[in-house]
């Protein structure tokens, strides 16, 4: 099997798990929508794979409780409610039959009452509020020095990736994010789905590493366990993949001036004296300080951050 079709199979498995019979349809719809943006089918599949499955791999995630188990247990609540109701029906039926046989009118009445009130019981049961919580610790390696940038970037990156209007607040070493999921987050969220979810992050440094203790919360109606499990699962996955982007951006924002670049390159044992102007290709001496310089030939503005990105890409591409 080629890499793309293996990735497709894994994605399909995941979508069927989440959406049931509609899984394949929804996956195909998402692929086709991205193809319209000019990507090839293979590219789209590998992009989706990275987003839904692959991006979790480079991070060191130590779940206290497995996410799949946590969200699947919500669906089990729903099924156990259905079983309970079937049992309730059967029991009332048995009571009616026994009442008739032994000619005890009150038993028959009691059985009938139980039988006809069962829809009410079902309704009450499905409208009970249920809380959900999932905790995990994510370790971001060698990111302790980027803590302020990471804290600052999380809300905006998360907002953009979920397309939700989020609210957030900082409190010492904590960040709380909350939002009311709408149909852009899950098309069925209106059907007993969670009305509000939140993510609580507390930051700790461990030498060079950054530790994030994350608690996800939500509350939903028992009858909406299926929708809720999907919403919660997406919440956790979106948050994890936002973190990846946050770390990447925080690290590149960190180095903003030329002196840090010179230092960084020196650490790698390389001496760089000149850089090429991205506009005219003219050779420019690498400035010793500052974060912006001008090309003496064409006047183009060159930012330290861009030079840093080029160097970072070069180093990454080296065998």
- Interface with Zn ion by CB under 5 A: which residues? 277, 279-280, 282, 295, 297-298, 300
Nearest to 237, CA basis, from 13, 71, 37: 71
Q: Are β-strands 209-221 and 274-276 bridged in parallel, bridged antiparallel, or unpaired?
A: unpaired
Sheet with 60-63, strands from edge to edge, namely 60-63, 129-140, 209-221, 196-206, 174-179, 166-171
- Residue number with CB closer to Zn ion (119 or 296): 296
- Residue number with CB closer to Zn ion (12 or 286): 286
Q: How far is the CB of 281 from Zn ion (least distance, A)?
A: 7
How far is the C-alpha of 204 from the C-alpha of 138, rounded, in Å?
A: 11
Q: How far is the CB of 305 from Zn ion (least distance, A)?
A: 17
Compute how many other C-beta atoms are within 10 angstroms of the C-beta atom of residue 3. Answer: 11
277: DSSP letter: -
Contact 288, 294 (CB under 8 A): no
Q: How far is the CB of 297 from Zn ion (least distance, A)?
A: 5
Q: How far is the CB of 299 from Zn ion (least distance, A)?
A: 7
- Residue number with CB closer to Zn ion (140 or 307): 307
**Strand, coil or helix: what is 212?**
strand
- Residue number with CB closer to Zn ion (66 or 294): 294
Q: How far is the CB of 264 from Zn ion (least distance, A)?
A: 23
Nearest to 96, CA basis, from 121, 78, 80, 116: 116
How far is the C-alpha of 256 from the C-alpha of 63, rounded, in Å?
A: 35
Compute how many other C-beta atoms are within 10 angstroms of the C-beta atom of residue 268. Answer: 11
Burial class for 8, CB neighbours closer than 10 Å (0-12, 13-18, 19+): buried
Q: How far is the CB of 149 from Zn ion (least distance, A)?
A: 30
Q: How far is the CB of 145 from Zn ion (least distance, A)?
A: 33
- Residue number with CB closer to Zn ion (243 or 302): 302
Q: Give the pair of three-digit tokens for residue 204.
A: 């700790």
- Residue number with CB closer to Zn ion (279 or 289): 279
- Residue number with CB closer to Zn ion (12 or 300): 300
**Strand, coil or helix: what is 199?**
strand
Separation of first and last alpha carbons in the chain: 27
How far is the C-alpha of 78 from the C-alpha of 72, rounded, in Å?
A: 10
Q: How far is the CB of 154 from Zn ion (least distance, A)?
A: 37
Measured in whole angstroms, how far is the alpha carbon of residue 110 from the centre of its chain?
Answer: 50
- Residue number with CB closer to Zn ion (263 or 279): 279
């Amino acid at each position: 099997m080629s890499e793309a079709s293996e990735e497709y199979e894994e994605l399909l498995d995941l979508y069927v798990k989440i959406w049931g019979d509609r899984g394949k349809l929804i996956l195909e719809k998402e692929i086709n929508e991205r193809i319209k943006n000019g990507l090839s089918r293979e590219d789209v599949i590998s992009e989706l794979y990275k987003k839904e499955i692959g991006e979790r791999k480079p991070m060191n995630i130590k779940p206290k409780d497995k996410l799949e188990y946590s969200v699947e247990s919500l669906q089990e609540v729903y099924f156990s409610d259905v079983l309970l109701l079937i049992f309730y029906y059967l029991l009332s039926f048995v009571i009616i039959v026994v009442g008739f046989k032994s000619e005890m009118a009150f038993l028959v009445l009691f059985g009938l009452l139980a039988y006809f009130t069962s829809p009410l019981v079902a309704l009450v049961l499905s409208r009970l509020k249920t809380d959900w919580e999932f905790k995990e610790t994510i370790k971001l390696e060698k990111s302790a020095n980027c803590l302020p940038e990471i804290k600052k970037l999380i809300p905006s990156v998360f907002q953009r990736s979920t397309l939700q209007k989020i609210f957030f607040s900082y409190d010492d070493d904590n960040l709380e994010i909350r939002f009311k999921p709408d149909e852009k987050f899950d098309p069925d969220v209106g059907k007993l789905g969670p009305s509000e979810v939140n993510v609580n992050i507390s930051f700790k440094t461990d030498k060079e590493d950054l530790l994030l203790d994350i608690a996800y919360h939500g509350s939903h109606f028992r009858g909406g366990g299926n929708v809720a499990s999907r919403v919660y699962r997406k919440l956790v996955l979106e948050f994890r993949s936002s973190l990846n982007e946050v770390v990447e951006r925080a690290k590149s924002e960190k180095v903003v001036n030329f002196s840090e670049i010179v230092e960084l390159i020196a650490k790698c044992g390389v001496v760089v004296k000149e850089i090429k102007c991205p506009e005219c290709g003219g050779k420019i001496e690498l400035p010793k300080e500052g974060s912006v310089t001008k090309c003496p030939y064409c006047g183009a503005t060159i930012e330290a951050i861009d030079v840093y990105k080029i160097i970072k890409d070069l180093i990454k591409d080296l065998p």
